[in-house]
Structure 1
Amino acid sequence: MFSGIVQEIGIIKDIGMKNRILELTISSKHLINDLKIGSSIAVNGCCLTVVECSPAKTFKVQVTEETLKKTNFLNLKSGLKVNLESSLKLGETIDGHLVSGHIDTVGEVSDICSSGENKIIKISYSSEYGKYIAPKGSISVNGVSLTIIESKNDKFDFTLIPFTRDNTNLGLLKAGDLVNLEIDLISRYVVNALESTRQEIKLR
Structure 2
Amino acid sequence: MFSGIVFDLAKVKSVRSKGGLKILEIRLNKNIKNPEKGMSIAVNGVCLTASLIKNAREFHADVTAETMKKSTLSEIRAGSPVNVEFPVQPHGFLSGHIVQGHVDCTGIIKDVKKENGNVIITAGYPQEFARYIIEKGSVCVDGISLTAFDVKKNAFSVSVIPETLNSTGVKFYKNGSKVNLEFDIIGKYIERQLKADNGEIK
Fold shared by both chains (TM-score > 0.5): yes
Q: Is this contact kept in 2: 1:113–1:120, CA < 8 A?
A: yes
Q: Aligned pairs, how many?
A: 201
- Aligned-residue offset at 1:143: 0.4
Cα offset for 1:34? 2.5
Given that 1:109 and 1:124 are in contact with CA atoms closer than 8 Å, whether structure 2 keeps it comes out as yes
TM-score, length of structure 1 as denominator length = 0.93
After superposition, what is the alpha-carbon deviation per residue over 1:12-69, rounded to whole angstroms, capped at 9, x for unaligned?
Answer: 0001221111110000132434322111111111111101121383110000011111
Q: CA–CA distance in 1 between the matches of 2:147 and 2:56? A: 37
User: Distance in 1 between the 2:41 and 2:186 partners?
Assistant: 22
Q: Secondary structure at the match of 1:101?
A: coil
SS in 2 for 1:91: coil
Write out the 4+ residue segments of structure 1 that deviate beyond 4 Å after TM superposition.
Answer: none
For residues 123 and 172 of structure 1, the distance between their equivalents in structure 2, rounded to whole angstroms, comes to 14
Percent of aligned positions with the same letter in both sequences?
36
- Contact kept, 8 Å, 1:41 with 1:87, in 2: the verdict is yes
Does 2:88 correspond to 1:88? yes
Distance 1:91 1:33 in 2: 15
Higher helix share: 1
* Corresponding position of 2:101: 101
Residue pairs, 1:130-141, within 5 angstroms: 130-141=130-141
CA distance in 1, matches of 2:128, 2:183: 12
Gaps of 5+ in 1: none
**Do the aligned residues in 1 keep the contact of 2:72 with 2:178 (CA within 8 Å)?**
yes
| Residue 172 of structure 2 corresponds to residue 162 of structure 1 | no
1:138-149 mapped onto 2 (5 Å cutoff): 138-149=138-149
Give, in whole Å, the separation in 2 of the partners of 1:94 and 1:84: 16
Q: Secondary structure in 1 aligned to 2:93?
A: coil
CA distance in 1 between counterparts of 2:129 and 2:31 reads: 33
The 8 Å contact of residues 132 and 191 in structure 1, kept in 2 or not, is answered as no
- CA RMSD after TM alignment: 1.6
The residue identity in structure 1 corresponding to 2:125 is Y
Give the TM-score normalised by structure 2: 0.94
Task: Say whether the 8 Å CA contact 1:124–1:156 is kept in structure 2.
Answer: yes
Question: How much has 1:190 moved relative to structure 2?
Answer: 1.7
